[in-house]
Amino acid sequence: MDSADRNLATKARELSLRAFGVFPDIPFSFNSRLKRVLGRLVYSKSREMLTPLRIEISSSISDNEELLKKTLLHELSHFYLMMNDRDFSHNSPEFRKLSQELGFDIVAEYEGLPVHIWVCSVCKRTVAISFNRRRKNGLSSCCKAPIELQGK
């Protein structure tokens, strides 16, 4: 574990203790391969039993303190609900309530994030938003026209 991951784990555990009164004894790490999400709770499922394994945070937000805090709270909320045998999905009332109480977004706002917007080449309607620039092929659902990169 490098110093950035140690600092992340310390920050996450402090946030968890303040928000939930729980010390999450799982690893926390930055993951440079996370391009479509800002964070994720990795868990295993066996015989209907869920076991949290680790929380990974996208390296792309490591320098954005506010977004990092909100993303950690988001992932810690999944962890807390899972550990209490509650529905930890984005659509659950419990998760939505935590989102409001703790001040994080269920789906990240795109302003200020390293995102790429793909639009219909005819009507310019947004058809996809991604954190990576990998070429998207296909036709838009609105005009059945090729899609193109609008820009960052």
Q: What 8-state DSSP symbol labels residue 56?
A: E
Cα 114 to the center of its chain, rounded Å: 13
Instruction: Classify 83 as helix, strand or coil.
Output: helix
The tens-digit pLDDT sequence of the chain (152 residues) is: 799 999 999 999 999 999 999 999 999 999 998 877 889 999 999 988 999 999 999 998 899 899 899 999 999 999 999 999 999 998 899 999 999 999 887 766 545 565 677 788 999 888 776 666 666 778 888 899 998 888 54
Joined together, the tokens standing for residue 145 give 């026209």
User: Whole-model pTM?
Assistant: 0.74
Q: What 8-state DSSP symbol labels residue 5?
A: H
Distance CA 65, CA 77 (A): 18
